Each structure stands twice: as C-alpha cells, then as structure tokens.
Amino acid sequence: MKKRRSTLWFDEVRESFVMALSALAAHKLRATLTLLGVVVGVFSIIVTMTAMRVLQSNIERELSGLGAHTFTVDKWPTLSFEGPQGWEKFRRRQPLTLQHLRVLQERATLATAVGAEAEFRQAEAASRFVTTDPDVTLLGVTPEALACKGLDLATGRSLQAADVEAARFVCLLGNKLARKLFPRGHAVGQTIKFDGVTHVVVGVLEASTRMGEGQDNFVAVPITLGLNRYGGNTWRSLTLLVQARNQAGYDDCVEQVRSVLRVARKVPPGEPDDFEISSNDSLIRQFRGLTFAARVGVAVVSAIALLAAGIGIMNIMLVSVTERTREIGIRRAIGAKKRNIMTQFIVEAVVLCEVGGAIGVLLGILGGNVTAYLLKVQPALPLDWIVIGLVICSAVGILFGTYPAYKAAQLDPIESLRYE
C-alpha cells in the first residue's frame, strides 16, 4: 500500500512538473520578467562566492609559502584589524636584527634551521641581453632562510655562510627572472646589474607557481650585502624564519623561540610579546576569519534580493490563479482533489524559482571565474554554495507559492466553471 501511494505521489509531481513547464512556455515574457529577480539574487551569491573562493584558494597557497614545520618572527603582524592605534603600538617595538638572529641560532636548540630575510627595494635588473622593468625585488637572505622557505636550486649553488660573512656581491635568481635575463643561455657564472651594481649569479632557483604566473621575479643576495648597501643595521626589522625538527616538536620549538626572544629583547614577565610569531596555519585562520564576515554580508544582501523575488513570484502566481480559474474548475470537475491543485501550483512556483536559480548559478560561476582568468590562476567551482543557492530557490518557491496554491485549491468548482 505504501509503495502504491509513493508511486501515485511521484506520478502526481511529475504531471505537475510537466504542466508547470507548459505554463512557463505559454507565458514566456511574464515568466522571464519574474525569473529576473531570482536570477539576480542567486547570481549575486554565486558570483561573489566563486570570486572569493578563487582568491581564497590562491591567497592561502601564497600564505602557505613557508616550508614544512616553519614559522616566522616579525616586528609587524602579517594581518591586523586593530586600526591606527594598534599600528602605533607595533611601530614602537624594537626591530629584529642580525643580533637576534645569532641569539636564536645559538640558543634555539629545538630548531633545525634559523634564518633571516629582508626586502630592500624594487628596481631594474640588467644582463648583457636585456634590461627588465623596474619591478624586480631585491631580497637579502641567509642560507638558512632558503631552507626554511622550501626553495630549491635548479642550477648552480646556494648562498653560503662565507658569502654572508664577507657580504660578497653574489646572488641567486628567481626562475622567472633568470629566463628573462638570459633567454639564450645559462645564468650561472654570468653577471647582472641591479640598481647599477654588478653581481655574479651563483645559482638559479626552481620555478614557483604561486598566484598563477609565479612570484620568482627577484634577486636574492647575502643579507649583509643588502644591509651594507641600503642601510638599516640598527633600524631595519628583519623577518626571522625558524624550522622545527618535526611536527611533533613544533609547539615546543615555538615556545622555546618565544622564551629566547623575550629574554634577548628584555620583555618584562607578564607583558605581552613585542614581536609576532606566525605560521601557515595561523595566517590562513586569520584570512578565513576575514573572508567569513564578507561572505555573511553578501549572503544577507542576496537573501534580501531573493525575498523581493519571492514576493514577485507570489504576485505572479496569484495572477495565474485568477487567469486559470476555469482550468482549475475543469480539473476539480473531473476528479482532482484540493491537494492535487496545491501540488500543481507549488511545483510551478518551485520550477519557476529553480529555472531562475540555475541561470543565476551558471552566470555566477562564469562571472566569478573572470577573476581566475584575469589572475591566470586555477578556476573554482563552489559546489557547496551552488547546492545552498538551489535549496534556497526551492524554499522560496515553496514559501511564496503556498498561499496562491492554497487559494487555488479553495476555489469552488461550480463557480470556477462559470468563470469567464
């Protein structure tokens, strides 16, 4: 008996679905205008969520640029929402210097590598073949920093401790920059000029694919060379990079580094750290917290748009009930029950919403992935939000289609047959 009832209900819904499509086809212009509200509401959700998913996945990949079990120590937080007063607090902190690096290298026994890096400036780089745009970054690094960041050599050798001690005019090239400066030969052993100063290329790093086209448009020199040339031995704050032995000892290594630095920087007991420790996971959590608020805001605005669309659908369905009063009377006269009439009109409202929702989803995915095309990164398909959008469309159809369906079901069959 239950199976028979299920079959009858399925046949009824299928028949109502076919009738709904016929009704939409019979009033194309009216259906199209009604769909626009749903399309706009769903499109606004999907296009925003798709674009944010593209940006989020690629920014998280960028934030994950450190090597395994690695964290950084900075004067400034990577992400902060404390406003001008917070930044003033950070500005008053002591800079992190080479002296702090040496202290950590001596006392941080739980770390396998402790390095430092600093970005000095952007300028032109020139070889005997070509001169680049003034967008090449000069990085000062120690050999340990390369290991902490997981940067591998493609050719040549890495920077060595002797290069740092003597502040030698040697450099490593990012893969993209090496191919640009030496399109017809090997870069290792050649000379380049950066900001008018000659450096010998001792190695080329493996290509990076972060943010699509790569972020390896840089020259890496011994950090002491950069400090000697551009100053800042006492006032420039370095980024310290620390690599723990393994994941099991990661937290202990962080606490040891925190303790060593608090002592070295004379932070009184009970006072907060005057430096920031960041890892891949902590940066990603902060970024997700920021984007969550934006997603909630977009969802609220889109919900208002869908609410307005639902009111429009209710209005159109009420008009449709009035226009099809005689049709309803005929169906009732040949045996259709009230629930059959209600099912017919609710399914019609849901179909109307789902057609608009499907169009909005398609346009939203295409529009959102324009971001991926412009940034030349991997496109995104937010399946969770697609499902949420279509479920919301169904809910809107049921919610705003129930009253017109109830009104249609309550029509008197005899009066309906007399209706002109």
Question: CA 395: distance to chain centroid?
Answer: 28
d(CA 292, CA 271): 31
d(CA 15, CA 116): 71
d(CA 78, CA 287): 10
**DSSP SS3 for 341:** helix
DSSP structure string for 213-227: T-S--EEEEEHHHHH
Instruction: Provide the pLDDT for residue 141.
Output: 95
Pairing of strands 218-222, 136-141: parallel
Question: Which neighbouring-strand residues pair with 192?
Answer: 199
Instruction: Provide the pLDDT for residue 213.
Output: 44
**DSSP SS3 for 286:** helix
Per-residue pLDDT of the chain (420 residues; tens, 9 = 90+): 545 555 655 666 676 667 766 766 666 777 777 778 788 888 888 888 888 778 777 666 655 555 567 888 998 876 554 555 566 778 888 899 999 999 999 999 999 999 999 999 999 999 999 999 999 999 999 999 988 888 889 999 999 999 999 999 999 999 999 999 998 878 999 999 998 899 999 999 988 755 444 468 899 999 999 999 998 777 889 999 998 888 788 889 989 999 999 999 999 988 988 898 887 666 666 666 667 777 777 777 777 777 877 888 888 788 877 777 787 777 777 777 777 778 777 888 888 888 888 888 899 899 888 877 887 777 888 888 888 888 888 888 888 888 888 887 787 766 666 555
What's the angle, vertex CA 142, arms to CA 136 and CA 145, rounded to 5?
A: 85
Single out the residue of 349, 344, 409 nearest to residue 15, CA to CA.
344
d(CA 157, CA 266): 39
Pairing of strands 125-126, 170-173: unpaired
> pTM above 0.85?
no
Question: CA 62: distance to chain centroid?
Answer: 10
d(CA 216, CA 204): 10
Single out the residue of 158, 157, 137, 151 nearest to residue 206, CA to CA.
151
Q: What is the DSSP letter of 131?
A: B
Contact 368, 49 (CB under 8 A): yes
Domain residue extents for the chain: 8-61+286-418, 94-274
Instruction: Provide the pLDDT for residue 23.
Output: 67
